[in-house]
């Protein structure tokens, strides 16, 4: 069964493309349940962040499965996703596995070692569990990827000094307007990024922080945790912008929050005073035409890429160590994945041996009713030991061979299947899957 990763990210698609295909978080469970209806998709997990949309799946057949994944994106979104092909990548087998480990450890992030990605991968795993789109393969893969991410953070400096899109936004504000201590800052959105930005602003000495959100309670919660600032309501957005020097926005809205109309209205109330707007949302919160308004300086999430380059040098030094961790955890998963070809034959062999043992022991007991309970227990124990010792070498060798050479292991499995008349149905499909993945590895 081939493993694939189908997706797009900040490496392949600009923000205007990513926002067009951003996946709404509240529909993730529904989407995963819908994916289960596609015959060629055995298991699936979706990782959706502001910088990537990826589907990890185990498929019955590579070509049919990938086609069905693309059909799912079209059908579920009820719109044209034809332009995705220009920005989309398809990773097969070991490429998909290694890619997930790079994602979970932060090596594939726009900001190397960002703090949020490991939690986002974990959330994707939990969502798939709840939707029951997760099987043993992706369960094992994602658990190993999460362990790799934790090891990278605890054993290297890849995660030292909190750096995220939110902190990059604050760093950009500092570079553009100087110290934020004397500036009035408006944070739009009370989600994770908004909360991170507010905390970072406080650490940088900002004393005038306002948080505005559609849910006033969530804005109040951030202000309460800060121990400072003001919580505002959305109807007061224009007035809030009039009083701000810096606006950092990150909502989950599917439409523009800041438009040329409301920003121009705010600027009329602050003549001669510039306004810096930093949009870290995907989909974007700010209409790009806002940048044409005199006095407004607008930057979006892609424009922040260069901001933290100097601050990430010490993290880049940790990359070789992180790659060693990735290699170790990926190899562990590869060994487990390869050994699966031995599972059907081992299971069938042990089940048949146990069935024969049980029948013969019961036949003996029926012929010898005078046996005591202790004698029966000793006979049962001895029969179990004989079966275990008889099968031990064959089981160990076929399992080890599956890790070393899956094709040879499958040949041995077919021989055992024929010799013992096990009639193991998954073997024929298993052979096809083994050679399909081996071809991918050879490339």
Sheet order of strands, 296-299 included: 230-233, 208-213, 184-188, 246-249, 275-279, 296-299
Question: pLDDT value at position 42?
Answer: 93
Residues in the chain, how many? 443
- Spatial separation of the C-alpha atoms in residues 205 and 183, rounded to whole Å: 10
pTM of the model: 0.68
Per DSSP, the three-state class of 130 is helix
pLDDT value of position 302: 85
Closest CA to 342 of 395, 391, 389: 395
Mean pLDDT of 392-419: 69
Q: Is 368 a catalytic residue?
A: no
Binned at pLDDT 50, 70 and 90, residue 351 comes out as confident
Least confident residue range of 91-100, 388-397, 423-432: 423-432
Task: Give all strands (DSSP E) within 10-104, no chain letters.
Answer: 41-49, 52-59, 89-92
CA angle, 133 as apex, 136 and 428 as ends, to 5°? Answer: 50
**DSSP states of 32-56 as a string?**
HHHHTTSTTEEEEEEEEETTEEEEE
- Range in 34-43, 117-126, 174-183, 189-198 the model is least confident about: 174-183
β-pair partners for 185:
209, 246
The predicted model gives 223-233 an average pLDDT of 93
Higher pLDDT, 400 or 19: 19
Give the pLDDT score at 119.
92
Q: How many helices (H) and strands (E) does the chain have?
A: 17, 10
| Closest residue by Cα to residue 127 from 22, 52, 35 | 35
Mean pLDDT across 227-231:
93
Residue 425's pLDDT band (boundaries 50, 70, 90)?
Answer: low
- Compute the C-alpha angle 376/381/385, nearest 5°: 150
Q: Residue 432 — very low, low, confident or very high, per pLDDT cuts 50/70/90?
A: very low
Give the bridge partners for 49, in sequence order. Answer: 52
Choice among 5, 50, 59, 128 that is catalytic: 50
Identify the sign of the CA torsion 254, 259, 263, 265: negative
Q: Per mean pLDDT, which of 75-79, 167-171, 239-243, 426-430 is the most reliable? A: 239-243
For 128, residues 6+ apart whose C-beta sits below 8 A from its C-beta are 32, 44, 45, 46, 134, 138, 142
**Confidence band of 323 (pLDDT split at 50, 70, 90):** very high
Q: Give pLDDT, residue 352.
A: 82
Q: Is the pLDDT of residue 23 over 90?
A: no
pLDDT of 39 = 93
- Return the pLDDT at 21: 82
Check residue 436 and give its pLDDT.
Answer: 40
pLDDT bracket for residue 428 (50, 70, 90): very low
Buried residues in 70-83 as b, exposed as e (16+ CB within 10 A):
bebbeeebeeebee
For residue 33, list its beta bridge partners.
Answer: none
pLDDT in tens, 51-109: 899 999 999 988 999 999 998 988 886 555 567 778 999 999 889 999 999 999 999 98
Task: Output the CA torsion sign for 268, 193, 291, 80.
Answer: negative
Work out the percent of the chain whose per-residue pLDDT is above 70. Answer: 85
Given a cut of 70, whether residue 358 has pLDDT beyond it is yes
Supply the mean pLDDT for the chain. 85
pLDDT band at 254 (very low <50, low <70, confident <90, very high): confident
pLDDT at 440: 42
pLDDT band for position 213 (cuts 50, 70, 90): very high
CA distance 11 to 39: 31
Average pLDDT over residues 417-436: 55
- Over residues 140-197, the pLDDT tens digits come to 999 999 999 999 989 988 876 556 788 888 888 888 888 888 889 999 999 888 998 9
């Amino acid at each position: 069964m081939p493993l694939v990763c189908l997706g797009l990210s900040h490496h392949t698609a600009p923000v205007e493309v990513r926002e067009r295909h951003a996946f709404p978080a509240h529909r993730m469970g529904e989407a995963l349940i819908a994916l289960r209806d596609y015959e060629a998709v055995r298991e699936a997990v979706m990782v959706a962040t502001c910088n990537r949309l990826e589907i990890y799946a185990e498929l019955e057949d590579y070509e049919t499965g990938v086609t069905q994944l693309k059909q799912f994106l079209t059908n579920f979104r009820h719109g044209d996703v034809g332009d995705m092909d220009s920005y989309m990548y398809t990773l097969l087998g070991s490429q998909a596995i290694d890619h997930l480990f790079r994602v979970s450890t932060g090596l594939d992030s726009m900001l190397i070692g960002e703090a949020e990605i490991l939690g986002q991968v974990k959330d994707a795993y939990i969502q798939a569990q709840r939707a029951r789109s997760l099987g043993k393969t992706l369960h094992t893969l994602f658990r190993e990827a999460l362990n790799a991410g934790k090891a990278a953070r605890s054993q290297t400096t890849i995660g030292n000094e909190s750096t995220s899109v939110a902190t990059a936004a604050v760093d950009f504000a500092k570079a553009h307007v100087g110290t934020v201590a004397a500036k009035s800052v408006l944070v739009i959105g009370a989600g994770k990024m908004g909360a991170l930005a507010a905390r970072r602003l406080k650490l940088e000495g900002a004393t005038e922080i306002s948080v505005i959100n559609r849910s006033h309670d969530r804005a109040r919660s951030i202000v309460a945790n800060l121990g400072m600032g003001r919580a505002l309501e959305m109807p007061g957005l224009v007035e809030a912008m009039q009083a701000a020097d810096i606006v950092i926005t990150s909502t989950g809205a599917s439409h523009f929050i800041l438009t040329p109309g409301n920003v121009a209205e705010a600027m009329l109330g602050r003549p001669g005073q510039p306004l810096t707007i930093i949009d870290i949302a995907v989909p974007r919160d700010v209409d790009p035409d806002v940048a044409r308004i005199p006095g407004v300086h607008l930057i979006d999430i892609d424009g922040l890429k260069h901001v933290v380059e100097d601050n990430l040098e010490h993290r880049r030094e940790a990359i070789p160590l992180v790659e060693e961790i990735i290699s170790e955890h990926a190899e562990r998963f590869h060994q487990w994945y390869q050994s699966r070809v031995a599972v059907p034959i081992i299971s069938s062999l042990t089940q048949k041996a146990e069935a024969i043992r049980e029948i013969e022991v019961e036949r003996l007991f029926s012929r010898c009713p005078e046996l005591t309970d202790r004698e029966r227990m000793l006979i049962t124990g001895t029969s179990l030991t004989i079966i275990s010792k008889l099968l031990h070498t064959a089981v160990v060798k076929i399992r080890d061979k599956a890790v070393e050479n899956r094709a040879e292991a499958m040949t041995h499995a077919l021989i055992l299947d024929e010799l013992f008349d096990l009639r193991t149905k998954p073997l024929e499909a298993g052979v096809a899957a083994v050679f399909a993945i081996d071809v991918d590895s050879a490339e």
